[in-house]
Structure 1
Amino acid sequence: MADFESPTEIPKFITFLSSLLQRVAESNNVILSLQSQKLSVFHGLTRPSISIQSYMERIFKYANCSPSCYIVAYVYLDRFTQRQPTLPINFFNVHRLLITSVMVAVKFMDDVYYNNACYAKVGGISTTEMNFLEVDFLFGLGFHLNVTPTTFYKYCSYLEKEMMMLQPKINMSESSLYMGISSKLHLSFSEDESSHHQQQQLAV
Structure 2
Amino acid sequence: MAELESPQVIMPRVIRLISSLLQRVAESNDLNRRFDMSRKISVFHGLCRPTISVQSYLERIFRYANCSPSCLVVAYVYLDRFAQRQPLLPINSLNVHRLIITSVLVSIKFMDDLSYNNAYYAKVGGISTEEMNLLELDFLFGLGFHLNVTPDTFHTYCCYLQGQMLLGPHDLNIGIISPKLHYCSSEDESTTHQQRLAV
1:146 corresponds in structure 2 to 148
| Structure 1 residues not aligned, in runs of 5+ | 168-192
| Structure 2 residues not aligned, in runs of 5+ | 170-185
1:33-112 aligned at under 5 Å gives the runs: 35-36=34-35, 39-112=41-114
TM-score after normalising by structure 1 = 0.79
Displacement of 1:6: 2.4
Distance of 2:5 and 2:87 partners within structure 1: 36
Deviates more, 1:108-117 or 1:9-18: 9-18
Q: Determine whether 1:10 maps to 2:11.
A: yes
Identity %: 65
SS at match of 2:167: helix
Q: Aligned partner of 1:13: which letter?
A: V
Distance of 1:28 and 1:199 partners within structure 2: 22
Displacement of 1:4: 6.2
Distance of 1:4 and 1:67 partners within structure 2: 21
1:194 aligned to 170, 183, 187, which one? 187
Displacement of 1:195: 6.1
Displacement of 1:12: 1.1
SS at match of 2:32: helix
Q: Aligned partner of 1:24: which letter?
A: V
Question: Kindly tell me: are residues 30 and 199 of structure 1, through their superposed partners in 2, closer, same or farther at Cα, counting changes over 3 Å?
Answer: farther
Q: Deviations over 1:27-69 (max 9, x none)?
A: 000001xx22581000001110111011001001000012210
1:117 corresponds in structure 2 to 119
Displacement of 1:196: 2.6
Aligned length: 172
Maintained 8 Å contact 2:83/2:90: yes
Q: Aligned partner of 1:194: which letter?
A: E
Question: Kindly tell me: are residues 4 and 139 of structure 1, through their superposed partners in 2, closer, same or farther at Cα, counting changes over 3 Å?
Answer: farther
Q: Deviations over 1:47-101 (max 9, x none)?
A: 1011101100100100001221000000000000000000010000000000000
SS at match of 2:189: coil
Distance of 1:195 and 1:136 partners within structure 2: 25
TM-score after normalising by structure 2 = 0.81
